[in-house]
Chains A and B, each alone.
Chain A
Amino acid sequence: MTVESTAARKPRRSAGSKAGTTGTERTTRTTARKAAEPELVQLLTPEGKRVKNAKNAEYAKYVAGVTPEELRGLYRDMVLTRRFDAEATALQRQGELGLWASLLGQEAAQIGSGRALRDDDYVFPTYREHGVAWCRGVDPTNLLGMFRGVNNGGWDPNGNNFHLYTIVIGSQTLHATGYAMGVAKDGADSAVIAYFGDGASSQGDVAESFTFSAVYNAPVVFFCQNNQWAISEPTEKQTRVPLYQRAQGYGFPGVRVDGNDVLACLAVTRWALERARDGEGPTLVEAYTYRMGAHTTSDDPTKYRADEEREAWEAKDPILRLRRHLEASNHTDEGFFAELEAESEALGRRVREAVRAMPDPDRFAIFENVYADGHALVDEERAQFAAYQASFATESDSGFAAGSGGN
């Protein structure tokens, strides 16, 4: 293992960073990077205790009225999203999917922000926003088509105001900005949210989207999940300053939120969306979280990061912390967890069966939808392809080799 590049990232007091210690992990990390890492907005500690202080009050008011039922809803969303994600990883291992990009560890960032949205808001995701898709009501099985290789995006973006996954890093932040410019032109009070990651923060398109959104005061929330790793490159390879501070240079606010705290993510996103609706323009939210799994199923994190780091973040698990809070607050009973477990398994089963039943597309799909209004060359090549295919039938039927019918 290469240790040179990762040594600086190891928690300094690894002995004290096992699960169960009292909030020392974040402290550990903060200590290690005292100058660089500021406090983040946190409403639930890793132990599930509500944080109440003056600094958080501005955001806490956005979840002041959250009911036990809503908390259970957030918990359910996170558990089911994780179950779906685990099933997809397994399906990749079984050869049913070509690739999977796991969101493990980022459930709170995605569910918290996703549940802050209204139906008329519009989401521009990366390729890892499975939890946000869940919040938007996109059937999880629809997300899997592109990873199985049967399409490049299998849902109607306008069906749930959830754009197709964008694979080129950062491109969608400009689409979100343009869409938000259109919302403003229409005089609507909808908001737009653009998801991206710490790696994407280096892309020119992200910088340009900050510029455009600021200049036109576009109602867009830039939601950066800083999961610490862009495949093998730590955030230090992307930035010298905490990412949320970049907003300042563009003239709009940025805030760092505990990305493993679903309540804080909900609150901060509601705040940012409200700003957008009120005509106050863009906001950058940096959800400070951790990619617990590999970049994708093709990746091998053991080559570039230490186990201790992951262990430290496990103690801050987003689902575990809300469960602790729910239990300590007597908001749940055993029946709730048992029912959710059954629902989880049913979801896993449904996803598994749906993927296995997913047919390969018709070979002529190659030529479909290349253009909206058609194109002579596509028509010509489709015809040649059809003739070529037909030539095999002729060969087997008659015993004669047919002409290729084209090139």
Chain B
Amino acid sequence: MAETVTSKNLALAKAINESLRRALEADPKVLIMGEDVGKLGGVFRVTDGLQKDFGESRVIDTPLAESGIVGTAIGLALRGYRPVVEIQFDGFVFPAYDQIVTQLAKMHARSLGKVKLPVVVRIPYGGGIGAVEHHSESPEALFAHVSGLKIVSPSNASDAYWMMQQAIQSDDPVIFFEPKRRYWDKGEVNPEAIPGPLHKAQVVREGTDLTLVAYGPMVKLCQEVAAAAAEEGKNLEVLDLRSVSPLDFDAIQASVEKTRRLVVVHEAPVFFGSGAEIAARITERCFYHLEAPVLRVGGYHAPYPPARLEEEYLPGLDRVLDAVDRALAY
């Protein structure tokens, strides 16, 4: 069993796989549902081997119908199950958007608290893998706008493991955005560790001159940016939000009160993105601390481009460094 091993070096995808395995072992009510999650183990192999070990009634290959996947998961949750459903790619979630927004998110309030829907919706998201259309999007803001949902995104293998455990244990529906371009990045996972709270941000690099805020796939980039900036004598702090809803404004505020400058980085379009919300709130909270306006680096108000152009569209080292320079110039 996973618990007997103290620490392992795992790819992020494998860390989620082991976390799902642990949840399936621990609670007979946990189910895995999705397209190709069975024999194939999912198109990213995140559920590899689970159907073989837990059977077709617990690791369920579904018809190709996303609304049906989420809608039946709601029904199973009403019956007392804890379904973890996979949406194969970010751009395929929209047929399920109605069930997620009108039903999954609102049932607890509608029932005055009598009905809980502990459903996890796993969505591999983000670009950078040279995919065709609809396979590289970052729709987290479209869900963060909806009360009743919790939205998280791990940036590393250890968080992926533990945040999945916590998401499955949550009595609220959780949209679990998996940074697909980081699926193969390895990291230490200690299954005996005691994880911190699911919705707390983490300082992954301490600094004094400016705060970089990111989550999911952009955390690694921001660490690279901070390393590059350090060579120029700039001391950047990097904050891994981990959770988009709720969003740990206290942690951002604490960092910004120290550094006085903030740059938010995400792959999703900047317009009405999570960076806009962070900028507005931090401006309110830290108005007298800020030396520069909060800057955002993200996608453009254009469809996610064909793969040959995605490096131009996605925030990269230079674009983030450019924003850092602009913020420091105030």
Contact = CB atoms under 8 A, between A and B. Distances in A.
A212 B70 CA distance: 12
Contacts of B199: 376
Given A204-B67, A205-B67, A212-B65, A375 B75 contact: no
A370 B76 contact: no
Interface in B218-272: 245-249
B98 A154 contact: no
Contacts of B148: 370-371
Interface stretch (A79-87, A155-163, A289-297, A322-330): A155-163
A171 B110 contact: no
Interface in A179-210: 179-183, 185-186, 204-205, 208-209
B108 A156 contact: no
Contacts of B108: 369-372
Classify chain B: how many residues form its interface, as a range.
35 or more
Given A156-B114, A168-B102, A211 B245 contact: no
A157 B74 CA distance: 14
Contacts of B115: 157-158, 164
A377 B246 contact: yes
A209 B150 CA distance: 26
A170 to B, nearest CB: 9
A376 B246 contact: yes
Nearest to B198: A373
A105 interface: no
Nearest to B118: A372
B209 to A, nearest CB: 28
A178 B78 contact: yes
B72 interface: yes
Contact of B75 (A158, A182, A371): A182
A158 B172 contact: no
A175 B77 CA distance: 9
B195 interface: no
B247 A153 contact: no
A67 interface: no
B72 A183 contact: no
Nearest to B79: A182
B196 interface: no
A157 B68 contact: no
Contacts of B98: 168, 171, 205
A97 interface: no
B262 to A, nearest CB: 19
B99 A369 contact: no
A208 B75 CA distance: 14
Interface in B271-285: 284
A57 interface: no
A371 B173 CA distance: 9
Contacts of A375: 147, 150, 245-246
A151 B57 contact: no
Given A164-B110, A211-B63, A377-B246, A370 B99 contact: no
Given A181-B76, A212-B68, A153 B246 contact: no
A175 B172 contact: no
A54 B108 CA distance: 49
A206 to B, nearest CB: 10
Nearest to A185: B57
A154 B284 CA distance: 38
B172 A371 contact: yes
B7 interface: no
Interface in A205-227: 205, 208-209, 211-212, 215
A213 to B, nearest CB: 9
A152 interface: yes
Given A186-B79, A211-B63, A377 B71 contact: no
A152 B110 contact: yes
Contacts of B99: 171, 174, 205
A326 to B, nearest CB: 39
A205 B111 contact: no
Given A179-B76, A179-B78, A375-B150, A369 B112 contact: yes
Interface string B94-126: 010011001100111111111110000000000
B118 to A, nearest CB: 8
Contacts of B70: 174
A383 interface: no
Nearest to A210: B68
A32 interface: no
A131 to B, nearest CB: 22
A407 interface: yes
Contact of A175 (B78, B147, B245): B78
Interface string B64-96: 010110111111111111000000000000010
A151 B106 CA distance: 13
B92 to A, nearest CB: 14
Contacts of A173: 71
B165 interface: no
B208 interface: no
B62 interface: yes
A368 B99 CA distance: 22
Contacts of B172: 371-373
Given A163-B78, A174-B71, A204-B67, A212 B111 contact: no
A348 to B, nearest CB: 27
B113 A368 contact: yes
A211 B76 contact: no
B310 interface: no
Nearest to A369: B113
A153 B103 contact: no
Contacts of A166: 103
B71 A209 contact: yes
A312 interface: no
B114 A157 contact: yes
A378 to B, nearest CB: 7
Contacts of B81: 182, 185
5 contacts: A158-B115, A178-B71, A178-B77, A370-B109, A371-B172
6 cross-chain pairs, A with B, having the tightest CB-CB distances, nearest first: A178-B75, A174-B71, A182-B79, A178-B72, A208-B68, A372-B171
Interface of B: 57, 62-63, 65, 67-68, 70-81, 95, 98-99, 102-103, 106-116, 147-148, 150, 170-172, 199, 245-249, 284
Interface of A: 151-154, 156-158, 163-164, 166, 168, 171, 173-183, 185-186, 204-205, 208-209, 211-212, 215, 368-373, 375-378, 407
